Amino acid sequence: MRKVYFDHSATTPVRPEVVDEVCTSLKENFGNPTSLHYFGRQVRKDVEAAREKVAAAIGAIPNEIVFTSGGTESDNMAIHGVAMSNKNKGNHIITSAVEHHAVMNTVKALGKEGFTITILPVDKYGMVSVNDVVAAITDKTILITIMHANNEVGTIMPIQEIAKLAYARGIFMHTDAVQSFGKIPVNVNELGVDLLTISAHKIYGPKGVGALYIRKGTRWKQSLFHGGAQERLRRAGTENVPGITGLGKAAELAMADLPKETEYLKTLRDRLIRQVTTKIDRVKLTGHPDKRLPNHASFTFEFIEGESMLLSLDMKGIAASSGSACTSGSLEPSHVLLAMGIPHEIAHGSIRITLGRDNTMEDIDYFLEVMPPIVDRLRAMSPLDQETEFASNGGCDACKSSGSCKS
């Protein structure tokens, strides 16, 4: 059966050039980069070469790059580090309602430790309003953390404007650029941010490695971990050298291919969105129509469970994902879709198609061929399709019984 991978926001296949880089590192250079002898020095060179590549890809200087275990650690490290080292200036942190859990749960944890948190709402496209940021800033604000592009709906946030405000008020600005890096230009100086998160496995690199950009002069606490002096005291622990060299290679390739790849992905995405929204009824694009990632399409289908669509697609060899975490186990629907004002019974019917460099127009056409009959079949089976009382009844049975996701 044909296999089509449409879940590049979850992770990407590793590019062959990156595999080679990682293998070379594993096979030939095993030294500890902190060691002073020949073996150590060779590996140190590889790590620093990777640092230069990552720095160049985002317009940073190499010393501003700290290698981490991925996007989650970078987000934790950025937020925790700024909060802890600026406590004497204030205790207020601003974020948005649509952040990745790596940001959202870190900020919430700080809320339990005496920090005051403002979670900004978003509009129907999943966009934060710059005016809301202005209104939320107080004398106590020390950090604004808002993602560059949303993983569930692809919306690109006005980071440049928000960072300008933060700068004028002496507030540190962090952005999670895990989804945008490698797909649209990400330059720390153009964006004007102080801290920025990236992850290798979202850009055709290996899992378990990422980086945090920390602008020179940023008041930021030392390592989250207690340990050695690695990464200039910013991240203790022996470096994940194969991962780091893989990240360097992936970043370098991403930059070289960016303009061409963006155009290519947009062509696929635009055809997909146009055809899905015309061929199938009661379907809506979620996220911003133009200010969205070039590889990202996400929809809600009325009266169908996202999970049923995913299983049916999987049987046809298509790997997509749901913007919703509401499985049969009665979990809440996506916090992102709910924050956008999408009623929760509609939010249950969401799917996300995220394209990558290996996808072709044939993949899109295959999807367009198999999807309409799946939707017809599921709607015919759906009790929801007949039950127009559904919304006023308070949602699906699973949610009602758990009481977990009343909208």
172 φ, ψ to 5°? -75, 145
344 touches ligand PLP (CB under 6 A): no
Residue pair 219/235 in contact (Cβ under 8 Å)? The answer is no
Tell whether residue 178 is a contact of ligand PLP (CB under 6 A).
yes
Query: Residue 218 contacts by C-beta under 8 Å, 6 or more apart in sequence?
Result: 82, 172, 194, 195
Q: Phi and psi of 364, rounded to 5°? A: -65, -45
First to last CA, the chain: 40
Report if residue 68 touches ligand PLP, rule: CB under 6 A.
no
CB of 250 to ligand PLP, least distance (A): 12
Question: Judged by CB under 6 A, does residue 76 bind ligand PLP?
Answer: no
DSSP 8-state class, residue 129: P
Regarding 12 and contact with ligand PLP (CB under 6 A), the answer is no
Cβ closer to ligand PLP: 213 or 303?
213
Q: How far apart are CA 215 and CA 217, in angstroms?
A: 6
Catalytic, out of 326, 396, 399, 405: 326
Binding status of residue 64 toward ligand PLP by CB under 6 A: no
- Name the residue nearer to ligand PLP (CB basis): 100 or 234: 100
Nearer residue to ligand PLP within complex by CB, 96 or 300:
96
> What CA–CA distance (Å, rounded) separates 302 from 381?
13
**In the complex, what is the shortest distance from the CB of residue 293 to ligand PLP, in angstroms, rounded to a whole number?**
11
Give, as ranges, the residues between 273 and 292 that touch ligand PLP (CB under 6 A): none
What is the distance between the alpha carbons of residues 170 and 178, in angstroms, rounded to a whole number? 25
Q: Does 152 bind ligand PLP (CB under 6 A)?
A: no
Residue 79: closest CA among 61, 60, 104: 104
CA-CA-CA-CA torsion sign (22, 24, 30, 34): negative
Residues 92-111, mask of contacts with ligand PLP (x by CB under 6 A): --------x-x---------
Residues 247, 248, 253, 259, Cα dihedral to 10°: 90
* Residue 147 binds ligand PLP, judged by CB under 6 A: yes
Min dist. Cβ of residue 362 to ligand PLP (A)? 27
210 binding ligand PLP? (CB under 6 A): yes
- Which pair of structure tokens corresponds to residue 157? 């946030």
Active site residue 326: yes
Catalytic residue positions, numbered:
326
> Which residues would be at the binding site for ligand PLP (CB under 6 A)?
70-72, 75, 100, 102, 147, 151, 176, 178-179, 199, 201-202, 210
